[in-house]
Amino acid sequence: MRYSHLFTKTTKTVPADSDSVNARLLVQAGFVDQVMAGAYAWLPLGLRALRKVEGIVREEMNGLGGQELQLTALQPKENWLQSGRWDAVDVLFKIPSQTGKEYALGPTAEDVVTPLMKTFLRSYKDIPVAVYQIQTKFRDELRAKSGVLRGREFLMKDMYSFHVTREDFAQFYEKAKATYLRTFARCGMNARITESSGGAFTKKVSHEFQVETPAGEDALVICRGCDYAQNAEIATAKVGDACPKCGGVLEASKGIEVGNIFDLGDRFTNSFDLTVSGADGAKQVVFMGCYGIGITRLVGAIVEASHDDRGMIWPKSVAPFPVHMVMIGAKDPAVAERVRGAAEELERALSAAGCEPLFDDREDARAGEKFADADLIGLPIRLVISEKTLAENAVEWKDRKTGEQRMVPLAQAVEDVRVFMTA
């Protein structure tokens, strides 16, 4: 991808209603465009990062044994009436049709996945089973805020598991915890498992996965000496108290919720009369779990947790491109031609090695402008090719995260990038 061909460009203008770092930086860097409050268009650079996150989530859900499907976002009112949630969920978009019917725009999928599973699950031999989807969801938030962290339209992974014993569910639930922690770690995030309220889903204690950051919306009570953490809304111990798990002193913190898991019990399977025949032929209760990850929300959390005063700092696993190549022209036309030739040759070599760069090939932009754009976009590596570096038959390497700068021989640059990205 050449920057001169990229239809989006960076801007120094700060969005008037940007109330968070992710809202400001994602817009300024040309990753997203706000269409209206709570709804963003994902532009080429932003979409590449979003798809990287989505790919990691999909790999981990498949590894957990989930089977991917795609449910409808438009959901029957009858299902929501049957679950008793049509008038109980205040963020539900209710869509009237010219046919006289009403539909729901799905904020979640329990009300459609449960009757779907009823169609196919007949016997205890069909269970356990877990299905998931990555789908656009809709919630009629009274006040959409914090950029892509809390929107009215967002991309979410929701998975549902079905079990015939509480013991089997508990085992899967613990596997899901470990899978979630690994998923967030692969995205460059250190998430904490935090006990929280089940809200409208269940009266049981559920678990959130929180990324600690001063910009977090959620107040947490945590222990630095162990993994104890609770959402302040349900905390049974207060800041300054002894940790009930290890005896350490509890601290206050803030976090961004990037995932959650719920023990739904038989709440929805009862509503839709989902049972299976047991080994003795008798009807058997089915227990259900729900496991969500906000994909767009996770991208916003990454920006909130990984940035500096110059721009974003993308973890290499989810960066839109691994390398930001910057070509600095020369006054002498012959030298400028050699610089461009060397840059284009490096671009081809990187792409052939699976490390496609974002190549700032602009000839009408000053070096300072290009460097500022590279810092704002925040790709893991910046490689500068100029008259000065060519004189040494090298490129200037800069690590966006550490700030480390060094000269790398041109012949070695591709291998160094490959090693860096796979380390």
- Count other C-beta atoms under 10 Å from residue 117's C-beta: 22
Domain 21-308, CATH homologous superfamily name and number:
Bira Bifunctional Protein; Domain 2 (3.30.930.10)
CA torsion, ordered 34, 39, 45, 47, to nearest 10 deg: -170
d(CA 280, CA 278): 5
Q: How far is CA 120 from CA 123, 129, 161, 183, 419, in A?
A: 9, 11, 14, 30, 47
Q: What is the pLDDT of residue 198?
A: 61
Q: What is the pLDDT of residue 315?
A: 97
Q: What is the pLDDT of residue 13?
A: 82
CB of 7 closer than 8 Å to CB of 44: yes
Per-residue pLDDT of 10-50, as tens digits, reads: 998 877 667 799 999 999 999 999 999 999 999 999 999 99
Per-residue pLDDT of 189-200, as tens digits, reads: 999 999 987 665
Q: How far is CA 329 from CA 26, 286, 336, 350, 370, in A?
A: 28, 67, 5, 20, 11
Per-residue pLDDT of 196-254, as tens digits, reads: 876 655 567 789 999 999 888 899 999 999 999 999 999 989 999 999 999 999 999 99
Q: Does domain 323-422 sit in CATH 3.40.640.10?
A: no
Q: What is the pLDDT of residue 355?
A: 95
Per-residue pLDDT of 301-338, as tens digits, reads: 999 999 999 999 999 999 999 999 999 988 899 999 99
- What residue spans define the domains of the chain? 21-308, 323-422
What's this model's pTM, rounded to 2 decimal places?
A: 0.95
CB of 132 closer than 8 Å to CB of 68: yes
Report phi then psi at 112, rounded to 5: -115, -30
DSSP states along 126-140: G-SEEEEEEEEEE--
**Average pLDDT, stretch 412-423?**
94
- Count other C-beta atoms under 10 Å from residue 76's C-beta: 16
